[in-house]
Structure 1
Amino acid sequence: MTKLCREVWIEVNLDAIKKNLRAFHHYIPNKSKIMAVVKANAYGHGAVEVARHALEHGASELAVAGLEEGIILRKAGIKAPILVLGFTPLKCVKEASAWNIELSAFQVDWIKKANEILEKEAVSSRLAIHINVDTGMGRLGVRRGEELLAIVEALTASKFLKWTGIYTHFSTADEPDTTLTRLQHDKFISFLRYLKNQGIELPTVHMNNTAATIAFPEYSADMIRLGIGMYGLYPSEYIKQLNLVKLIPALSLKARIAYVKTMITEPRTISYGATYIADLGEIIATLPIGYADGYSRELSNRGFVLHDGRRVPVVGRVTMDQIMVSLGEGDGKQGDEVVIYGRQKGAEISVDEVAEMLDTINYEVVSTLSRRIPRFYIRDGEILKVSSPVLYV
């Protein structure tokens, strides 16, 4: 049994991730593979364990934001293809080759210089490259057909790089107006047709993120990039309301009450700035979680947690490591379990609800959860593994 000396933790339901993967497998065309996106520590869920589980249950490849994230997976013994979606400086090409991590590229000069670097290093295997095509995201990617052809020709001529993929990214696939998504799709297809007309055989083609996969399964091509949906969250309320794929949230955030105090003799101020005054007889509980854990300071005097299946409000300002909640005049004691995100006795505080309260998206709420919070991986109702920087047994 793992002993936590700071009693706040995340529970990741691996069975939910498995069911979400299966739901997408049944939804997309049989020919389409799944690339599991595990960037940002798997959207706060824990990259290594989620990656392993995803590969066991239908994903064939992985995607990360930067090379460092890919190296973490390699060091953990993961051998599946890993693609870096972001820009990789030339100074890191040698490391990418050494760790067999695929890179995104979209500049001819970068391709030529990367080839020179690897030739100088006399590497024994060719580094895989996916070409990123900008069809409307405006972030990264090649934008003109002539540039794309020059990149393909440079890759074809290279002895140390190999072309294994081409992709684009939709910017509004989670919105009801599908005009731009359709335009992006048509533009991407025109790029592919342009290459085919030059007699070029295409590698793996991918364009769909979670939102596009649900709204446009016919765009799934050779592979989809499954991010937020794998974790049981929808990219937007619109996509959720389509009711096309049933998803199960995989993450719960929990803590135990560290201290309970009752205002017996006089009202008392709570937390920095004295923005809340507890009434006589009011019971205040302190929880060991704060904004350094990813629980936003914007939830001060606004958020809620679940105690004994009952919603209780966050009172006073959220501090770096602790928050206070009001139990009203109800019972509560040190050591009681409190649910911050998730379900308890039929009640729920969803990540989507918290995101709406913060005027942000569920992606941010989960991905900003600190690595210092232990992750408990649950399978078949049992703790399979615990991941934490410091554990006492």
Structure 2
Amino acid sequence: MKPFCRDTWVEVDLDAIRANVETFRRHLPESTGIIAVVKADGYGHGAVRVGEEALASGADSLAVAMLDEAIVLREAGVQAPILVLGFTPARSVEIASRLKVQLTAYNSEWITQANALLEQANLESIGLHIKVDTGMGRLGVRTQEELMQVVTAVEQSSKLDWSGIFTHFACADEPDTTHVRRQHETFQTLLQSLRDAGKKLPMIHCCNTAAAIAFPEWGYDSIRLGIGLYGLYPSPYMKERKDVSLVPALSLKTRIAHVKTATQPMTISYGATYCAQPGEQVATLPIGYADGFSRLLSNSGEVLYNGSRSPIIGKVCMDQIMVRLEQGTGQPGDEIVLYGKSGDEEISLDEVAARIGTINYEVPCMLNYRIPRVYFRNQEEVDVFHPLTMKQVAQKTVNN
């Protein structure tokens, strides 16, 4: 039986995920590894299935934003190394230990507290990556003194292993490289201060997707492949550079629920902001802002029907939208592409982002638990996951 009832779904092309990993593998120095970033449920693509594919395609490990996301991966059977990039409360280190998940640290008091909790519980040690703030202004130590305090605290801990050190770039996707070069120079200076103090450095990583594209020579031991994993560029400028060719992995589709043809002027949706004229064919589609389809697309966005564009008319509702079918031949059950390709036409996530005044990262991340994810390989369906019912089909364990 079909694992979802409503005819609205996301399609994820696993071949695209594989192709993007392989593209970066060729672009980077041979000695540089790849950490596949699958936070935010794989940027809306599904963390488990994308994570599995990335690992099978050559990624060495996975990264998430918070420990809860790592728990989901472990419970799904993913056994590869996982790094939590964000803050983890010290009280949760016991969970990290039991699941063998690495955490990010940047505070010596946190390290002391975490170590004491692990000692009290007599649990195995966990790996820590020290975060350095070189100009992002979020988490991380900023000075040589702070860095040395944190490194010393880790070295003095019995249950914490220094496994990595990293920073994050704020402007790596921009034409002006002044800021990113300054950040990298600061990172290099801090690393050298540790070497001068006789410290043996662990895994070093600093490049996000944008930096990996523009500065592959900064790859060190690994890069963190985020938005590029999904076939999206960090900015229009990075796409224009054409250093790498990426394949978008996500499409959003639905089917027509109802069709009506106006026989007289007919207002559409809340606020009556659109009036269909006699002869216009109006199709109702079962998707709305409660699914993460932005209300900002009201009277603005377009969809694809049989390879042609059709405008969204009226305001986007919580669960439904209306479109004007220019061909005038629509029938209930006909497929509509909201994001992706139909024939020679495409509505890219970049286009949608521009329409609603945001970045392409946010568009797939908004697609939420109400929409099932259907996975394809070689144009054949291989897996379905419906977050609403939490049913995963054809799931496998990945060892890496």
TM-score scaled by length of structure 1: 0.98
* 1:329 shift after superposition: 5.7
Structure 2 residue aligned with 1:70: 70
Structure 2 residue aligned with 1:302: 300
Q: Does 1:46 pair with 2:46?
A: yes
Deviations 1:162-202, CA, capped at 9 Å, x for gaps: 00000000000000000000000000000000000000000
* 1:61 shift after superposition: 0.7
Supply the AA of the counterpart residue of 1:225.
R
Structure 1 residue aligned with 2:396: none
Instruction: Provide structure 2 residue ranges, at least 5 long, that are not aligned to the other structure.
Output: 394-400
Q: Distance in 2 between matches of 1:228 and 1:167?
A: 18
Q: Distance in 2 between matches of 1:263 and 1:251?
A: 34
Q: Distance in 2 between matches of 1:177 and 1:139?
A: 22
1:1-393 to 2 correspondence within 5 Å?
2=2, 4-123=4-123, 125-264=124-263, 266-328=264-326, 330-388=328-386, 389-390=388-389
Q: Would you say the 8 A contact 2:144–2:193 is kept in 1?
A: yes
TM-score scaled by length of structure 2: 0.96
Measured on the aligned residues, the alpha-carbon RMSD in Å equals: 1.2
* 1:392 shift after superposition: 12
Q: How many residues align?
A: 391
Q: Would you say the 8 A contact 2:384–2:392 is kept in 1?
A: no
Q: Distance in 1 between matches of 2:346 and 2:159?
A: 53
Q: Percent identity?
A: 55
Q: Distance in 1 between matches of 2:3 and 2:94?
A: 42
Q: Counterpart of 1:362 in 2: which secondary structure? A: coil
Instruction: Provide structure 1 residue ranges, at least 5 long, that are not aligned to the other structure.
Output: none
Q: Distance in 1 between matches of 2:183 and 2:205?
A: 13
Q: Distance in 2 between matches of 1:15 and 1:270?
A: 40
Q: Distance in 1 between matches of 2:392 and 2:249?
A: 25
Q: Would you say the 8 A contact 2:385–2:392 is kept in 1?
A: no
Q: Would you say the 8 A contact 2:282–2:325 is kept in 1?
A: yes
Q: Would you say the 8 A contact 2:36–2:62 is kept in 1?
A: yes
Q: Distance in 2 between matches of 1:129 and 1:19?
A: 31
Q: Distance in 1 between matches of 2:163 and 2:370?
A: 37
Deviations 1:231-288, CA, capped at 9 Å, x for gaps: 0000001000100100000000000000000112x21110111111100111000000
Q: Which of structure 1's runs of 4+ aligned residues deviate more than 2 A?
A: 1-4, 389-393
Q: Distance in 1 between matches of 2:254 and 2:212?
A: 35
Q: Would you say the 8 A contact 1:282–1:329 is kept in 2?
A: no
Q: Distance in 1 between matches of 2:327 and 2:9?
A: 27
Q: Distance in 2 between matches of 1:290 and 1:385?
A: 25
Q: Distance in 1 between matches of 2:220 and 2:174?
A: 21
Q: Distance in 1 between matches of 2:52 and 2:297?
A: 34
